[in-house]
Structures are given as structure tokens and as C-alpha cells.
A = this chain, B = another copy of it.
Amino acid sequence: MAEIVAKHPDRFAAGVATLAMNNIDSALRETDRAINDLGLKGVLVYTNVNGKPLDLPEFMPLYEKMANYDLPIWIHPRRDETVADYITESKSKYRIHGALGWPYETQVAMARLVCSGVLEKYPGLKFITHHCGGGVPFLAERIRGWTRVRGDAERDADLSKEPIEYFRMFYNDTAVNGSTPALMCGYAFSKAEHILFGTDMPFGGEQGEQFVRETVRAIDEMAIPDSEKKMIFEDNARRLLRLSS
């Protein structure tokens, strides 16, 4: 990845390292190598690590390291058909695991990082989600009510602010397959500063070109100032990835 980025600076602004999180010590070393030696601009993890949530103590050293580097952590959903949608079934049907299960994985990962206090502990840490937060912007007011701090330690978050305020700290990409209403939901939730251009390429038709085209159109059709569209297309990424302009 680093080689391709170095070879085609006119096409690739930056690259990111995918971490194998099953061995956190190796993942930490790989993070240092990726950023210091290879010049990559962040790391990518999945919404679960062999079925484990991202808020376990063993993963905290990565969050501390990335907060210190001041570079983002991408969170990509991961779920296959073996995760059944009903307790009476052994697998998910009709690709529901991907269509709906992936956004749900993203929502839950966000909730766990919020409610366990990871974002309170590392206020400078920048998580980037795909699929515009997987629907969290749509459910924002519902989440606000359900996650309110109520003092029941077993069930509730122990945070100094309302949980929903930490949900707003995530950066969310625009990969919603060309839906302007979904992007406007994301915009209302987190403002333009927290939305990043993303397309899900190479998924979609024409080796991903279709998604690129539809995503650009969907952003163009957002009822927001051009200056904010520029933030989404370019400025936010430059800032987060600390790219020279």
C-alpha cells in the first residue's frame, strides 16, 4: 500500500495500515512501522476482533498510541453469515448480515467506545466510521434517550457528559450509496467538520466508479454551503490525516 501511494502521488493522497488485532503487541509494532517507516496516515481495525468488542482493556494501548500520533483509526464493519439474526436460526439469510448487519456492527462498536469511556479517556482520538455511522445519525435522538446516564452501573455509561455528545466525536464517511437524505441526516448530527468523503469503491458497479459518481452527486445535492462541501471532499481529510496542502 505504501509503495503504491509513493509511486502514484497524483492519485493517492495517503494510505492506511490494516491491523491484525488478534495480537495487540504485534499490532502496536506494526502501527509504529506503518506510520514512522512507511509514512502511512492511520490504521484500520474492524468492528470486532474475532468476536471481541473494541472496548476491552487489551486494546487501550492502541488508542493511546493513536491519540499520541494524532492520526485516525478507521473502523470497518465485519460480520459474516454465521452470525444469525434470530436465536432459533444458525445463520443470517438473504445477505442481511451485510446489508443491515454491517451498519449495526458499526453502531454497536461506536456505542461501546462511547459508553465504556474510551472517548472520554482519549478526547483527541479520531475514529472514522464507514457508511456515515451506520445509521447512528438517523437514530441520534433515540440513542440520546436510551443511553442517558442514570446511575445504574451495570447497564449505564459512567461518563461526565451525555453519551450522545461522545457519539458526535466520531468522523463518518459518505459511503451511503448515493443517498442525499442519509447524508443530510449525518450533517444534522455531526456537522460538516465530521464528514469525510468515502465511496465504498471498489464495491459497486464499474469496479467502483459507479459508487464514486453517485457519492459525488449525493454530496453535490446536499443543501449546504459550497464551503462545507469542500470540507467534506477535501479539507477535513487534509486536517485529520495531517497532509501538507
Give which listed residue, B96, B139, B204, contacts A99 with CB less than 8 A. B139
On whether the beta carbons of B94 and A157 are closer than 8 Å, the reply is yes
With A53-B86, A100-B139 already in contact, the answer to whether A94 and B181 are too (CB < 8 A) is no
Give which listed residue, B107, B145, B181, contacts A185 with CB less than 8 A. B181
Q: Does A199 contact B (CB under 8 A)?
A: no
Give which listed residue, B96, B138, B204, contacts A137 with CB less than 8 A. B138
How many identical subunits does the complex contain?
A: 2
On whether the beta carbons of A111 and B104 are closer than 8 Å, the reply is no
On whether the beta carbons of A95 and B146 are closer than 8 Å, the reply is yes
Chain B residue nearest to A98 in the complex (CB): B146
Give which listed residue, B99, B131, B135, contacts A103 with CB less than 8 A. B135
Q: Give the Cβ gap from A26 to chain B, nearest Cβ, in Å.
A: 20
Residues of B with C-beta under 8 A to A182: 138-141, 185
Residues of B with C-beta under 8 A to A98: 146
On whether the beta carbons of A147 and B94 are closer than 8 Å, the reply is yes
Per the bound structure, the CA–CA distance linking A156 and B142 in Å amounts to 32
Query: Per-residue 0/1 for A165-206: is the Cβ within 8 Å of any B Cβ (1 yes, 0 no)?
Result: 000000000001111111011011100000000000001100
On whether the beta carbons of A185 and B138 are closer than 8 Å, the reply is yes
Residues of B with C-beta under 8 A to A180: 188
Chain B residue nearest to A131 in the complex (CB): B142
Interface residue count on the A side (C-beta < 8 Å):
59
Per the bound structure, the CA–CA distance linking A88 and B184 in Å amounts to 35
Residues of B with C-beta under 8 A to A132: 138
Q: Does A14 contact B (CB under 8 A)?
A: no
On whether the beta carbons of B99 and A138 are closer than 8 Å, the reply is no
On whether the beta carbons of B141 and A178 are closer than 8 Å, the reply is yes
Give which listed residue, B83, B86, B181, contacts A48 with CB less than 8 A. B86
Q: Give the Cβ gap from A217 to chain B, nearest Cβ, in Å.
A: 12
Per the bound structure, the CA–CA distance linking A87 and B50 in Å amounts to 9
A interface with B by C-beta (< 8 Å): 48, 50-53, 81, 83, 85-89, 93-96, 98-100, 103-104, 107-108, 111-112, 115-116, 131-132, 135, 137-147, 155-157, 176-182, 184-185, 187-189, 203-204, 214
Given contacts A94-B116, A135-B139, A139-B176, 9 further A-B contacts (CB under 8 A): A50-B88, A52-B88, A94-B155, A94-B157, A140-B182, A144-B177, A181-B187, A181-B189, A184-B184
